[in-house]
Amino acid sequence: MEVLPAYEDCVTKAFEQLDLKVNPELEHLVQQTLAAIDKEMRDISLKIYDLHELSMKEQKSHDLLTAFLEEKGFQVTRHAYGMDTAFTAEFGNGPGRRVGVCSEYDGLPGLGQGCGHNLICISGIAVAMALKAALEQNKISGKVILFGTPGEEMSAGKIEMVKQRAFQDNVDACVMLHPSPMDGQYAKMIAVQHVNVEFIGKPTHASSSPWEGINALDAMVQLWNGVSMMRQQLEPTDRVHGIVTDGGQAPNIIPEHTSAMFFVRTYKYQQLKRVMEKMEQCFEGAALATGCQVKWEWADIPTKDVVQNHVMASTYAHYMEKTGITFPDIRVQEGGGGSTDMGNVSYVVPSIHPMYGIHTTASNHTVEFTKAARTIQAHRDTMNASKCLALTALELFNDRYFDAVKKDFETTVPEDERN
């Protein structure tokens, strides 16, 4: 039986027909620009790393980055889109293609830069600086907008920006990079929805009159067991995980109140409802079994899965491979389980969010990865990937190339899901 080619294989063949030829002048300009700011990028990366400010509290990072970008000639808007620590930095030379680039700079509680956002921060600046140099010399026409997106670890900044049509109304495409233990131009980032749940019981003395109480901690334990059993019937790509945020006040008081936060993840955001309904059954079952009341609240907007634009992803891989980087099979890349609010951006404009290796085997959100994100080798890897992403972004100013990017977007993202 003949096996039909996968969509990605068809895109790869179509990509080859675009016959990309590196413009030596532009490539030299990108290399020259990034070399000139390399030390500044390293300094900023280390400062962001050491600050490791938490989501939506990145005041010092915001001030540092906006002052730097303003000094470099960008038109900067501080506290953009109603968020204290968001910003935009624009540079244009007239009508033409509008390309967005994202920087992140928040850290994780306890770990600090356990996802390498200090590197994401400078990669966004580096790409924006390279595009600005090409615009200044009139090699291309249009605009670059660097979006400073806070609170990625809370799935906050980009979702709020999408809600306010920051991307839909201002750019034609958007790009960013993410450090990782491996390289992946099609790296799969799945959808996530979070929920806060609480149980309300009745307090009493845990030793002298336990029969008079209703134990909210028992309800939480019951919920935990229910979720554990539910996992057996979930699909292999589904994920559910959480923490207890309130487990009671003292061991000699029957807990009157307990609470927890859970993340629910699925391969595509349209599948979230299926697992959310199962979770709600677990909530109700735990309350019924223990006599507690239960309340829960889901996040207003889910963090969507990332739809990698195949044309841009192939272009990025093309440039990375020229530097000696090899990529695993797409099926290996699609085995990932992380999530990012860049997914919501990818549903409204053509986007890519490739992963690049920083010479570590440690997974993101570990102590070991946190340490790796500070090394000079990780910096070199970041600047190399930034060069390749900048060259990819420059292709967007070619009408024939952008038409192919737009066609892929329209093929992979249904029209009713693009806003």
57 and 135, same domain (yes or no): yes
pLDDT band, residue 380 (cuts 50/70/90): very high
For residue 347, give its domain range.
Answer: 18-189+306-417
Q: Could you give the percent of the chain with pLDDT greater than 70? A: 95
What's residue 155's pLDDT? Answer: 86
- 367 DSSP β-pair partners: none
pLDDT band, residue 11 (cuts 50/70/90): low
- End residue of a domain, out of 254, 274, 298: 298
pLDDT band, residue 4 (cuts 50/70/90): very low
Domain count for the chain, please give it. 2
Average of per-residue pLDDT across 198-203: 98
263 and 165, same domain (yes or no): no
30 and 130, same domain (yes or no): yes
What's residue 416's pLDDT? Answer: 85
- End residue of a domain, out of 278, 298, 318: 298
Structure confidence by residue, pLDDT tens digits, 88-97: 999 999 999 9
CA distance 189 to 221: 30
CATH number of the domain that 208 lies in?
3.30.70.360
313 and 164, same domain (yes or no): yes
Q: Are 252 and 241 in contact (CB under 8 A)?
A: no
Other Cβ atoms within 10 Å of 293 Cβ, number = 13
- End residue of a domain, out of 271, 298, 325: 298
pLDDT band, residue 330 (cuts 50/70/90): confident
Q: Is the pLDDT of residue 2 over 50?
A: no
pLDDT band, residue 13 (cuts 50/70/90): low
What's residue 419's pLDDT? Answer: 75
Sign of the alpha-carbon dihedral angle for 135, 311, 347, 352: negative
Q: Could you give the percent of the chain with pLDDT greater than 90? A: 89
99 and 198, same domain (yes or no): no
CATH number of the domain that 350 lies in?
3.40.630.10
* Overall pTM > 0.85: yes
277 and 319, same domain (yes or no): no
Q: Are 346 and 173 in contact (CB under 8 A)?
A: no
**10 within domain boundaries:** no
Residue 22, token pair as written in the block: 């590196």
Cα–Cα separations (whole angstroms), residue 229 to 196, 234, 318 = 20, 10, 45
What's residue 304's pLDDT? Answer: 96
Structure confidence by residue, pLDDT tens digits, 254-274: 999 999 999 999 999 999 999
33 and 133, same domain (yes or no): yes
Q: Is the pLDDT of residue 12 over 60?
A: no
What's residue 409's pLDDT? Answer: 97
341 and 213, same domain (yes or no): no
